[in-house]
Each structure stands twice: as structure tokens, then as C-alpha cells.
Amino acid sequence: MVSTGKSDRIARRSRTIAWGGWLLAAALSTVGCASFSREDPVAKFDNIQRELTETRKYPVQQASLEQKTSPLPDLPDLSPKSVTQKVKEVAGYGTKPDEAKQLYAEAEQAYREAVELDEDERAGRLLKVADQFRSAAALWPSSALEEDALFMAGESYFFADSYPKANEEYERLLKKFPNSRYLDRAEAKRFSIAQFWLARNEQNPDQFYEFNLFDGTRPRRDTGGHALRVFDRIRFDDPTGKLADDATLALANAAFRKGDYVKADEFYTDLRRTFPSSEHAFDAHFIGLKAKLLAYRGPDYAGTLLDEAEVLVTQIRKQFPDRADQESEYLNRAYAEVRFRKAERLWSRVSYHRMRQEYGAARYYARQLLDEFSDTPFKAKADEMMASSQNKPATPPQRLSWLVNMFPESDPVKPLLKSDSATTKRR
């Protein structure tokens, strides 16, 4: 007799088998018997041909790259330059080539007439002509006419002895047209303006509280500072130009005369390195040597300037033998001064260590002084120091040793993990 639990398990298993058979029959009816039979090759070829024929009835359309697309709507140009131009056009100051040409021709004729006038009338007339050239330049911006007009405006101000305005117009020209055909002429005028300002300031220096209200040839204030700025701008605006080395020398000489020997040394060094074939090469070496010796601050400061000065003495004698013969007295004196200053630096170290009773270090620097600078007055001092400290210890004795011994000596720090010797070798 079969138990009830066993009969239930048999019934569930029968239902599972029935469901599986039903699903298998459904799958076979869907796939068909062709899946289990070998397909006829001729029939397969006919089916492929029929599919290709049906596909040709509906060909794929190729995209055309020449097909025009709908244009995007025009957006307004809101760049600062465009906005400024629009504002000028609304105000009546837009681009007007015809008016610009006419105004430039009138200004050019007025300029020819003005330069023929007497000195008293010429300046006022040229100031008006300069304004005409500026107006012509504004009517046709970014054109060849603007370039000509800006240069002529600067020329008008220059010959009217209004040097600040002339320099301003030349700078506007070179800022807008860096490779202008007037570059050399404009730089020459700026150089002469800077020379005039610098000479005027050296004769009668401006006070920090002074304001120039009546002299049109000078800036409102700080005439010397404006001159140096123009020289510096000439170096950067046209670094390979004819006046770049002259401007560098002018800056160096101005700093030297002012007593700023560090700044002068920088400019002379720049002149030697940037313009090695300049006509001012000897001055850059010779006056640069003086600047280095005057810029040296003493044994408590770096001795780089002394090393560089010694190199300059050697270079002057090799590169400029004729001029070196003429200046041989100064060069010999400069070389002796360099050696004296270097020996002084070593003696300063000897004195420092002897004061601290560190006789080992003192004797080391004294021997170096005797080996390298035995021709200086410090040789006798070094000999005396070596003799007096011969039997003295290299390092001073420990002071208050009883107090130092009261404190325990700290052991060296031990690592937390001991490293394997094999691992250490592999690293």
C-alpha cells in the first residue's frame, strides 16, 4: 500500500513531464521539420536570388554632401571692437575712406605750409595740423592711411616742440602697426626725445612734489623717469633695431651716474650678452668692470661680483688689446683690487673662526690664503696666525661640561621593523 506523501510526489513529477512534452511539441511545430533536414542547394540559390531582386526594388538613397542645408540665423557680433565701431557709426565717426583721404590731403598741405613759417607761428600751426592728421586716422582705422596719419601727427607734434604728445603718437603708431615702415624714423625721434628729457633732468632734477604746467617740451612730472621708460620701450619694441644697443647703453650710463651700480651692472651685462658685436662693446666691458667693483658690498656679502670682475679684466685684454694698452694702468689696479678683496674675504673667515677658537678651520682658510694670495698684505697676518695657533686644538673645549654630563645621551632612533638583508639588497 503506497503512502499519501509518496503518491503526491509521483503526481507532481508526472505533471512536470507532461508540461515538458507540451513545450517541446510547440517548439517543433514553430521551427518546422526543415531544421532537421538537409536543405536543397538549388532551392537555397533561388531563395537568395529572389531576396536580391526584392532589395533592388527599394534602393538605399545615398546622402549628398552638396545638398544645401537651411542657413543659421545671423547673430549680431558683440565683440568690443565691433560694438565700438557701431557706436562710432551711430555718432557719425564710422569708417569713411573718402573723407579720410580728403582730410589727410588737406592736413598734408597745411603741414608743408606750416614748416615754412617763422618759429613763433610754426608751433601753433603745427598743433592744429596734428589734430587734422589724428582726425583723418580716426576716419579710416586699420588702413595704410591711418599708419601715415599717425606718423605725421607725431611729426607735427615733434616739430612743434610738444615732445610728450609726439612720443604718445609714435607709441600709438608702433602699437597698432608693430612692423610699420616708419619704425626706424619713429624710434630715432623717440630716442632724441628721451635724450633731451634725461639731460634736462640731470641738469635740473624734478622734485617729487613738482608739476610741470607751462613747459610743453616736458611731461607733467618725473621727466627723468619718462626718459628711462622711453629708452626701455625702444629696447622691447625693436630689439634688433639700430638703436636697441644705444638705448641699453643709455640706461646703463644713467644708472651709473645716479649711483645705482647694481642696476648699471645689469644693463652693461645685458648689453654684452645681447649685442656682442655692438660698437659699444668696449664701454660695456670697461664701465661694466667699474660698476661691478663699485657694487661689491664687502666680505660679509656674496663674492660673485669679484669673480665676474676678474673675468672681465681677462676679456678686455683679449678682445680689445689696443684699448687695453691705453687703459692698462686702470686694468692693473682693478685686477689688484679684485685680488685684495678676495684675500680680504678669506682673512675675514680666518678671523671669525679664530674668535670662536675653532683653530682647525682658521688654519684651513689661512693656508688657502697663503697659497692663492701670497702677494697681498694679508700674507703676513696669515703667517702670524699660523705660528700662534700651531699648538692649539682644532676645536674649542666643551664649556660647562659638568652641566652637559648631567643630561643623558640620546640613543640613535631604532627602526620599528627590522628589514630583511636580502630584501634590502634587491632594492
pLDDT in tens, 232-271: 999 999 999 999 999 999 999 999 999 999 999 999 999 9
Q: How far is CA 81 from the centre of its chain?
A: 28
Among 287, 225, 285, CA closest to 253: 287
pLDDT of 407 reads 76
Domain stops at, among 326, 347, 364: 326
Of 326, 354, 373, which marks where a domain is finished?
326
Would you say residue 28 lies in a domain? Answer: no
Among the residue ranges 88-102, 228-242, 281-295, 373-387, the one predicted with the least confidence is 88-102
In a domain, 203, yes or no: no
Whole-number pLDDT of residue 142: 92
Percent of the chain with pLDDT over 70: 74
pTM of the model as a whole: 0.71
Residues 283 and 312 in one domain: yes
Helices (H), 204-320: 223-237, 244-258, 261-274, 281-295, 304-319
Phi-psi region of 289 (alpha: psi -120 to 50; beta: other; left: phi over 0): alpha
CA Rg, the chain, in Å?
47
Distance in angstroms (rounded) separating the CA atoms of residues 189 and 163: 9
Give the residue with greater pLDDT, 173 vs 18. Answer: 173
State the total domains in the chain: 2
Q: What is the DSSP letter of 35?
A: G
Q: Mean pLDDT across the stretch 118-139?
A: 93
Question: Are 337 and 397 part of one and the same domain?
Answer: yes
Range of the domain at 347: 332-401
Residue closest to 268 by CA, chosen among 309, 318, 310: 309
Each residue's pLDDT tens digit, 285-300: 999 999 999 999 999 9
| Residue 277 within a domain | yes
CB 308 within 8 A of CB 292: yes
Judge whether residue 209 has pLDDT over 80.
yes
Residues 336 and 394 occupy one common structural domain: yes
- Give me 150's grid cell: 599717425
Asked whether residue 25 is assigned to any structural domain, the reply reads no
pLDDT at position 397: 77
* Structural domain contains residue 222: no
- Cell numbers representing residue 315 in the block: 676679456
Question: Is residue 397 in some structural domain?
Answer: yes
pLDDT average, residue stretch 93-115: 91
Which pLDDT score, from 0 to 100, does residue 208 have?
80
Phi, psi dihedrals of residue 221, rounded to the nearest 5°: -155, 165
For residue 115, pLDDT beyond 70: yes
* 343 plus 322 within the same structural domain: no
**pLDDT at residue 215 in the model:** 87
362 and 336 in a common domain = yes
pLDDT computed for residue 47 by the predictor: 60
372 within domain boundaries: yes
Please state, in angstroms and rounded to a whole number, the distance separating the CA atoms of residues 379 and 371. 9
Look up residue 92 and give its DSSP letter: T
H or E, element range at 405: helix 401-405
pLDDT-derived band of residue 49, with 50, 70 and 90 as boundaries? low
Residues 6 or more apart in contact with residue 171 via CB below 8 angstroms: 190, 233
